[in-house]
Amino acid sequence: PGDSYGVLPRPCRALVRLTPQSGAGRALEDFQAVVQPMLAEADIATTVFITERPHHAHEKVRDEDLSQWDTLVVMAGDGLLYEVVNGLMERPDWEDTMKKPLCILPGGSGNALAASINHYAGNDHVAKKKLLTNCTFILCKGLHTQMDLVSLSTASGKRLFSFLGFGWGFISDVDIDSEKYRRLGNARFTLGTLQCLAKLRVYQGRLSSLPA
């Protein structure tokens, strides 16, 4: 229903988390060429924070004052948004902070959430620059709604939060081991799969769940 949606204010202040190495290494270039002009037309002012190392975005959103921003934008793959979500959930004020709208703009090798949002917005299945344009246009319209998160606690006591799903074992190894091939874009996963198949491992674990 229409009343389940919120609307970003105008003018709007957006903090953009961006990883230049995401995908084929064109995230910053695509942001400047495609995203920034569209946001400027929509009266959305941007401040860009460029991540410099793994977990950098996690640490920044966990520790810094975010009150001056109306929305947090992640331009990268699903991995950076995962960092941001978990950083936000570690804040003492997480209940209030998680009410701040989050936006994902596809700029990585894996852009499953952006593709899902594009689908549920009623758009045709597209990829690359067209998907980026569609998702930027969704941000320009300013509509936002709630999204479920998955919570998982490990045997060591660590609690993790995710969207879409969790991966463990072979699938996770492909994702992690293929990091060094990031410049290949989506082809990194194919190469990573072949390498993991060549040195196939045995995984032992136990999955348990608690009643809601």
DSSP notation for 124-189: PP--HHHHHHHHHHHHHHTEE-----EEEE-TTS-EEEESS----THHHHHHHHGGGGGGGTTHHH
**Residue 67 CB burial class (10 angstroms; 0-12, 13-18, ≥19):** exposed
The pLDDT value given to residue 38: 97
Whether the model clears a pTM of 0.85, i.e. scores above it, the answer is: no
CA distance 53 to 68: 24
**Alpha carbons 188 and 75: distance in angstroms, whole number:** 19
Of 91, 83, 82, residue with least CA distance to 62: 91
Domains of the chain and any CATH numbers: 6-152 (3.40.50.10330), 167-202 (no CATH)
Per-residue CA distances from 177 to 188, 190, 199 (Å): 9, 11, 12
Question: Over the stretch 61-82, which tens digit does the pLDDT of each residue have?
Answer: 999 999 999 999 999 989 899 9
Query: DSSP states of 38-63 as a string?
Result: HHHHTTEEEEEEE--STTHHHHHHHH
Q: Is residue 81 within a helix (H) or strand (E), and if so which, with residue range?
A: helix 78-89
What is the tens place of the pLDDT at every residue in 144-199? 999 999 998 887 888 999 998 777 777 777 777 776 776 676 677 788 788 878 88
Q: What is the reported pLDDT for 2?
A: 45
- Catalytic (active-site) positions: 78
pLDDT by residue (tens digit) across 120-136? Answer: 999 999 999 999 999 99
Distance CA 73, CA 19 (A): 12
Write out the two tokens for 97: 């902070």
Tens of pLDDT, residues 84-143: 999 999 999 999 999 999 999 999 878 999 999 999 999 999 999 999 999 999 999 999
What's the mean per-residue pLDDT of the chain? 88
